[in-house]
Structure 1
Amino acid sequence: MALSILENLAFAQDDVGVTELSGALKTTKSRIHRHLRTLLNLGYIMQSPKTERYRIGIRLIELGKAAAESTDLSGVAQAFMRQLRDETGHAVIIGQVEDEGIRILNKLSGKLAIDVGVRPGSVLGYVTSAQGKVALAAMAPTAAKTILQKPLEQVTEYTITDRKALISHIDDIRKRGWATAPNEGMLGLNALACPIFSAGGELAGTIAIVGLTQYIKTPPDPKQIDAVIRAAEAISDALGYDPESRSRNAHS
């Protein structure tokens, strides 16, 4: 019951009263009161002296922050990366979102005769990589707008440098949930990437298979798309992602 109360308060848009909690959790006000007193004494919730309504407290916020900081994206993703590599045969890379682009945290080599990939520690550009473009499509609109206002560097003849065309391209990626970048960052190379989300619904990183354009075609094989989407969803689930939390963030 205490955990249910905390979840209710954490996801509420405003302070919550005893009557609302009682109705939402289908229990008596007296039972709610007992748990609220305990949580209040421990610092997990706060009570407004004016309205006597409740909200989450500093201790719960600190606990959530500590849990988030202790989550190693690369470690959580390891088993799912291996499964994706075994299913597709391609190299698999996991990346985290940074100001300048997507930093590659880890790579698993593929099973094909010619192995391609990206060195861990490298940063892939937002507009020249599948990972960067799928991140732009999944991140907060204001953050994506700031990035898309920067000068667009043409790395190869296939790099999208027309701003309107790029914005339309990102909109398409947002609708379908995956991105490719054939020849856009390096000739002959392509990747198929999907976003990974955190427990709070924020963009946590990306996962992708990487290979030659003859093996990851445009558009990619539906089986490849399905495999990468499933891997991204599995990692997001392991991080505690709740699709409803992302929906709430989008409307707040």
Structure 2
Amino acid sequence: MTKATTNTAPQAPRSNSTISTVAAILRCFTVDEPECGVTEISEAVGLHKSSVSRTLRTLEAERMVSQNPETKRYRLSWGLLSIVGPLLSHLDLRSLAYPVMKDLVAHTRETVSLCVFDGVEAIVVEQVQGTEMIRHVTPIGTRYLSLEHATVRVFHAWRGGEVGLKTTGVREAQPEAAGWDREQYEKRLEDIRQGQVAVNNRDSNDDEIGIASPIFDHRGSIVGALLLAAPAFRTPNARLDSLCPAVREAAEKIGRSMGFTPENFS
């Protein structure tokens, strides 16, 4: 038995350009909702159904989406791999992190994910499922936006790294959306920087605990975050005392494999 945990938020186009419209439509397809109809996409992105339909037909011709002949609903198609494939093939972080993630799963029996940041959202790019019968699952492609999530807190603590925070105008990414004022926000981020770990203790979901730690490269720049997700019923506060150091040490190990030397950045 598994329990999926995802976070998605379809957004309207960020400008009137065709590219922005296409991006908004593609963001409607999520792990939880892999198939979408024209009407629901139209409502999600705030565009007329005729505009959405024309764009989907063009994307279908480019093999980026496909239509279910029975339901007439659309889903993402394999043509997108020709675009994202080069990115994934050069994302050395995934190949370096994977064996460390497997070791952490073997040690904790909980699901471990690798996340990167696009300036607004933390995105799962690799994942190793836990070995317990009841476990949390964070599929590749899951996106986290709210500061209720541990990975988002980690990236905010280091201001988004080289990509920088680009959350202006994104309500869900603001501290107020998580119930924090600005003073609490800065204090929590400073605590994360000091302890090198962020804990989502039932903040996003009453059933879930999330522990995240930053991954740095040889320049000391944050390039990712390691996330361990566990059911709350199996994770009392006492267990956090052992899980947090385990996640932090695993993240540091990945960083060292990328040339990061903590002693030079302390």
TM-score by length of 2: 0.58
Q: SS state of the match for residue 210, structure 1?
A: strand
Indicate the residue corresponding to 1:127 in structure 2: 147
Indicate the residue corresponding to 1:198 in structure 2: 217
Residue in structure 2 matching 1:237, options 256, 259, 266:
256
Aligned-residue offset at 1:134: 1.5
Indicate the residue corresponding to 1:96 in structure 2: 116
The runs of 5 or more residues in structure 2 that have no matched partner are 1-88
Aligned-residue offset at 1:117: 2.3
State whether structure 2 residue 100 is matched by structure 1 residue 107.
no
Deviation larger for 161-170 or 142-151: 142-151
* 1:108 partner letter: V
Please say if residues 119 and 164 of structure 2, whose CA atoms lie closer than 8 Å, have aligned partners that are also in contact. Answer: no
Indicate the residue corresponding to 1:166 in structure 2: 185
- Distance (Å, rounded) in 2 between the aligned partners of 1:214 and 1:200: 39
Aligned-residue offset at 1:131: 0.7
* 1:105 partner letter: V
Distance 1:218 1:208, change over 3 A: same
Aligned-residue offset at 1:164: 2.4
**Which whole-Å deviations, capped at 9, do the CAs of 1:66-102 have from their partners, x for residues lacking one?**
xxx9452111101000000010110000011112211
* 1:190 partner letter: I
Computing the radius of gyration from Cα coordinates, the structure with the larger value is: 1
Q: SS state of the match for residue 119, structure 1?
A: coil
Q: SS state of the match for residue 190, structure 1?
A: strand
State whether structure 2 residue 244 is matched by structure 1 residue 225.
yes
Where do residues 33-44 of structure 1 align in structure 2 (5 Å cutoff)?
A: none
Indicate the residue corresponding to 2:18 in structure 1: none
Residue in structure 1 matching 2:156, options 136, 148, 154:
136
Aligned-residue offset at 1:191: 0.7
Q: SS state of the match for residue 132, structure 2?
A: coil
Q: SS state of the match for residue 214, structure 1?
A: helix
Percent identical among aligned pairs is: 20
Distance 1:78 1:167, change over 3 A: same
Please say if residues 159 and 185 of structure 1, whose CA atoms lie closer than 8 Å, have aligned partners that are also in contact. Answer: no
Distance 1:148 1:128, change over 3 A: farther
Please say if residues 96 and 104 of structure 1, whose CA atoms lie closer than 8 Å, have aligned partners that are also in contact. Answer: yes
Please say if residues 200 and 246 of structure 1, whose CA atoms lie closer than 8 Å, have aligned partners that are also in contact. Answer: no
Matched pairs, number: 177
Please say if residues 109 and 130 of structure 2, whose CA atoms lie closer than 8 Å, have aligned partners that are also in contact. Answer: yes
* 2:98 partner letter: Q
- Distance (Å, rounded) in 2 between the aligned partners of 1:190 and 1:80: 20
Aligned-residue offset at 1:145: 7.1
**Which whole-Å deviations, capped at 9, do the CAs of 1:77-132 have from their partners, x for residues lacking one?**
01000000010110000011112211101111111120212121111125121011
Please say if residues 100 and 123 of structure 1, whose CA atoms lie closer than 8 Å, have aligned partners that are also in contact. Answer: no
- Distance (Å, rounded) in 1 between the aligned partners of 2:239 and 2:199: 8
Distance 1:141 1:241, change over 3 A: closer
Please say if residues 139 and 202 of structure 1, whose CA atoms lie closer than 8 Å, have aligned partners that are also in contact. Answer: no
- Distance (Å, rounded) in 2 between the aligned partners of 1:192 and 1:151: 24
- Distance (Å, rounded) in 2 between the aligned partners of 1:145 and 1:219: 34
* 2:219 partner letter: G
Residue in structure 2 matching 1:72, options 81, 84, 92:
92
TM-score by length of 1: 0.61
Aligned-residue offset at 1:159: 3.5
The runs of 5 or more residues in structure 1 that have no matched partner are 1-68, 248-252
Query: CA RMSD, aligned part only?
Result: 3.0
Residue in structure 2 matching 1:116, options 107, 130, 136:
136
